[in-house]
Amino acid sequence: MNLLADVIFPAFQAPYVASLLLPVAGISAIVVEIVVFWLLNRHVGVGKIVVLVVAANLVSGLVGFFLAAVLPSGLVPRVVGSVNGRPFRSSQPGPYFETYMALSFFMAFVLSVVIEYAVVWLLLGWAKVVRPFRTVTLANLASYVVLVAVAWFWIAFVL
């Protein structure tokens, strides 16, 4: 049975689904963000950095996932059979699905930087992050490189 291969998600939710379906990729991305935050802010305790990074990613992940739901899905309907004479429809990737997926990673990156910067800025009194915008941008850049690389490797060699 090839049920898992038939699970379809909207194109703009790809970065968020990749982290959920491939937890190794999502965890690796978070760990890389923590390391970047720590390298740029060694004066802040590791515990505070972990809480800050996890909180910022939870907020940006939730907001991004729901915002992505209102963007074009890239999916088109298809008839897969019938039940009692009525056609049963499903969805499949349409002609722009791959383009939307590629664009989704760029959009998720920009959205992550903006939202995570806002979270870090709100918590500056608690965790004194130096140059928060630069820190968040570099951490997200590193995490997205890792997310894409680990997801690609996992799909290509493990699954």
pLDDT in tens, 64-111: 989 988 888 888 888 777 778 787 777 888 899 889 988 998 999 999
Q: What is the pLDDT of residue 159?
A: 61
Q: How many helices (H) and strands (E) does the chain have?
A: 5, 2
Q: What is the pLDDT of residue 5?
A: 46
Q: Annotate 110-136 with DSSP letters as a single string.
A: HHHHHHHHHHHHHTTTTS--SSHHHHH
**Which whole number is the average pLDDT over 115-129?**
96
Give the separation between CA 92 and CA 96, rounded to whole angstroms: 11
Largest separation between any pair of C-alpha atoms in the chain = 68
**Which whole number is the average pLDDT over 2-19?**
68
Q: What is the pLDDT of residue 155?
A: 73
Question: What is the C-alpha radius of gyration for the chain, rounded to an integer number of angstroms?
Answer: 19
Q: What is the pLDDT of residue 1?
A: 36
Q: Is 21 a residue whose pLDDT tops 80?
A: no
More confident residue, 16 or 112: 112
Q: Is 115 a residue whose pLDDT tops 90?
A: yes
Q: What is the pLDDT of residue 4?
A: 40
Q: What is the pTM of this model?
A: 0.83
Percentage of the chain beyond pLDDT 70 is 94
Could you read off the pLDDT of 135-149 as tens digits, one per residue? 999 999 999 999 888
End-to-end CA distance of the chain: 15
Are 117 and 53 a contacting pair, CB within 8 Å? no
Q: What band does 36 get if pLDDT is binned at 50, 70 and 90?
A: very high
